[in-house]
Amino acid sequence: MIFGATGDLAKRKLFPSLYRLFEKGNLSEHFAVIGVARRPLTNDEFQDNVKKSVSTAIDKEDRIEEFSSHFYYHSHDVTDSDSYASLNKLAEQLDSHYQLDGNRIFYLAMAPEFFGTIALHLKEDGLTNVNGFKRLVIEKPFGHNLESAKELNTQLRTAFAEDEIYRIDHYLGKEMVQNIEVIRFANAIFEPLWNNRYIANIQVTSSEVLGVEERGRYYEKSGALRDMVQNHMLQMVALLAMEPPIRLNTDEIRSEKVKVLRALRPISGEEVKDYFVRGQYDSGSITSESAPAYREEQMVEPDSNTETYVAGKLLIDNFRWAGVPIYIRTGKRMAAKSTKIVIQFKDIPMNLYYQTEQTLNPNLLVIHIQPEEGITLHLNAKKAGQSMEATPVKLNFANKGIDGINTPEAYEKLLYDCMRGDATNFTHWDEVALSWSFTDKISEVWESTVEKNFPNYASGTMGPKAADELLEKDGYFWWPVT
Ligand code: BG6
């Protein structure tokens, strides 16, 4: 059951992802999807929507008729028990028609204010009373801060056990985010160097070209810290910094990630300005088109104090990482859409190549998450010719080039994981709670002080100057990501 089936997420991501799973044979004949939303629609109209969404996203849709025949629609009132009763009746009919063995997945792809109410109704009105499995998939935001997240969690837990709750962080479904673990733990050459003796710093960038679009109402209350840092950025940091798990199963991986989040040095009060930079985009031009300032966007206050950019320096206080800064930055209306991780290794102990008046570049391992997917290792090698000069060389691996296939969309992987009951790439409550307690201390300071310099970066740039200074203080700079 997809709650919010007429919404943007269902249309753009969920229907096409389900279709891809269907086409690959990963969805058997034994499935039915009930689209649940407020507006009245017939099954035919709903199936037409599904077809349109699939054909917009996918070129080849040979089995679209067969696929869409598994879709049904239920017009729903989220606060009305009668509405849940008729939904349950439809689910029971489809269960016997498609032989679903009583297995149910409830996907909440809608406004978060209803998450708690829906979960309670699902239980009270008997929808979770099934012989098979019952799983709840829930989209972000998971609360607005630690306190509201706890409240929401308590509501969900009255109807679902922790291992039945699949909290989506779509970055965990990205191919190259999943690759972090393999690069680290399947190679003999990186793990011995993966610590404060050999790594100078780590830089995680997730920049976007798009502005806030039509999400002003949500974004005004969220800002980049809640929207990107609390979840996606900290999840990537946890994967980069965790200890090797004793086994590659859900519990062991999650428990290592949780330890990283527990070791994250809290930044609060006066320290916030030394470790974090906030930005808000001004007007500017992106690929020669002019873009408005954030404060001119729809549903945004003309004197908004909301940040559309965050850069920060994180420290992980454990034996492996003591003293290694992990810099993160993310923002809207930046120069490029790019998510990249740069691991900068320490300089060699002595440079033998000074005679030629060159400084050696440090070794870098770059993990390209999107739009391109791959790995680059930056080395130094001999420049061809008579002299013994060193020159930078790059070893490149591009995912698409080698495998020759398009990597599956994050949502496709996550939906499939959920159907198979694998929660590894979903966030556990402990991770959510620790991430909120870290970002809450920063939000408290930012919300209680008006940033007089806003807007402080032009659209189409890589963010405010202060973000460069954050690294310059430590003798580093942001490696270009474009
Ligand atoms: C979402 C945020 O979680 O991630 C959006 O709410 C952001 O504001 C998006 O645009 C970025 O995701 P991606 O996959 O495009 O990097």
Question: In the prediction, which pLDDT does 379 show?
Answer: 95
Q: Has residue 336 got a pLDDT over 70?
A: yes
Query: pLDDT-based confidence at 360, cuts 50/70/90?
Result: confident
Interval between CA 263 and ligand 1 midpoint (Å): 26
**Long-range Cβ contact pairs of 155-159 (< 8 A, separation 24 or more):** 155/115, 155/116, 155/119, 155/120, 156/115, 156/116, 156/119, 158/119, 158/120, 158/123, 159/119, 159/120, 159/122, 159/123, 159/128
Q: Has residue 43 got a pLDDT over 90?
A: yes
What is the rounded CA–CA span in Å between residue 139 and residue 112? 8
What is the rounded CA–CA span in Å between residue 16 and residue 411? 9
Atom of ligand 1 minimally distant from the CA of 171 = 14
Question: Please, which residues bridge with residue 382 across strands?
Answer: 390
Q: Pick the more confident residue, 481 or 324.
A: 324
Q: What is the mean pLDDT of residues 323-335?
A: 98
Q: How many CB atoms lie within 10 A of CB 378?
A: 18
Query: pLDDT-based confidence at 405, cuts 50/70/90?
Result: low
Interval between CA 78 and ligand 1 midpoint (Å): 27
Task: Evaluate whether 200 touches 476 at the Cβ level (below 8 Å).
Answer: yes
Q: Specify the residue with its C-alpha closest to ligand 1, atom 13.
A: 171
Interval between CA 13 and ligand 1 midpoint (Å): 13
Mutation test residue for ligand 1: of 9, 232, 330, the one with most atoms within 8 Å of CB: 232
Whose structure tokens read 């998939």?
Answer: 137
Question: In the prediction, which pLDDT does 123 show?
Answer: 96
Interval between CA 392 and ligand 1 midpoint (Å): 34
Interval between CA 382 and ligand 1 midpoint (Å): 42
- ipTM, 2 dp: 0.99
10 annotated among ligand-binding-site residues? yes
Q: What is the mean pLDDT of residues 383-393?
A: 88
182's tokens: 């393999």
The verdict on the CB of residue 412 being under 6 Å from ligand 1 is: no
Q: Specify the residue with its C-alpha closest to ligand 1, atom 9.
A: 228
The verdict on the CB of residue 164 being under 6 Å from ligand 1 is: no
Where does 143-256 show beta strands of DSSP type E?
165-167, 199-207
CA-atom Rg of the chain in angstroms:
24
Interval between CA 48 and ligand 1 midpoint (Å): 27
Q: Which of helix, strand or coil describes residue 316?
A: strand
Question: In the prediction, which pLDDT does 86 show?
Answer: 97
Which region among 26-30, 215-219, 358-362, 371-375 has the lowest average model confidence (pLDDT)? 358-362
- Per-residue pLDDT tens digits for 75-98: 999 999 999 999 999 999 999 999
Question: In the prediction, which pLDDT does 145 show?
Answer: 97
Atom of ligand 1 minimally distant from the CA of 215 = 8
Query: pLDDT-based confidence at 359, cuts 50/70/90?
Result: confident
The verdict on the CB of residue 208 being under 6 Å from ligand 1 is: yes
Pairing of strands 276-279, 309-314: antiparallel
Q: What is the mean pLDDT of residues 7-20?
A: 95
Average of per-residue pLDDT values in the chain: 94
Question: In the prediction, which pLDDT does 353 show?
Answer: 78
223 annotated among ligand-binding-site residues? no
Question: In the prediction, which pLDDT does 172 show?
Answer: 96
Residue 310: half-sphere exposure toward Cβ, Cα within 13 Å: 26
The verdict on the CB of residue 139 being under 6 Å from ligand 1 is: no
70 annotated among ligand-binding-site residues? no
Q: What is the mean pLDDT of residues 437-449?
A: 98
Question: In the prediction, which pLDDT does 169 show?
Answer: 96
Helices (H), 342-427: 399-403, 410-420
Question: In the prediction, which pLDDT does 73 show?
Answer: 98
149 annotated among ligand-binding-site residues? no
Whole-number percent of the chain with pLDDT over 90: 89
Question: In the prediction, which pLDDT does 60 show?
Answer: 82
- Per-residue pLDDT tens digits for 164-191: 999 999 999 999 999 999 999 999 999 9
Atom of ligand 1 minimally distant from the CA of 232 = 3
Q: Has residue 47 got a pLDDT over 90?
A: yes
Atom of ligand 1 minimally distant from the CA of 410 = 14
The verdict on the CB of residue 227 being under 6 Å from ligand 1 is: yes
Report the catalytic residues: 232
pTM for the whole thing? 0.95
Mutation test residue for ligand 1: of 228, 306, 309, 481, the one with most atoms within 8 Å of CB: 228
Question: In the prediction, which pLDDT does 474 show?
Answer: 98
Q: Specify the residue with its C-alpha closest to ligand 1, atom 6.
A: 227
Q: Pick the more confident residue, 243 or 58.
A: 243
Interval between CA 280 and ligand 1 midpoint (Å): 17
4 annotated among ligand-binding-site residues? yes
Q: Has residue 439 got a pLDDT over 70?
A: yes
82 annotated among ligand-binding-site residues? no
- Per-residue pLDDT tens digits for 260-311: 999 999 999 999 999 999 999 999 988 788 999 999 999 999 999 999 999 9
What is the rounded CA–CA span in Å between residue 328 and residue 237? 9
Which backbone phi and psi does 140 adopt, to 5 degrees?
-75, 165
Q: Has residue 406 got a pLDDT over 80?
A: no
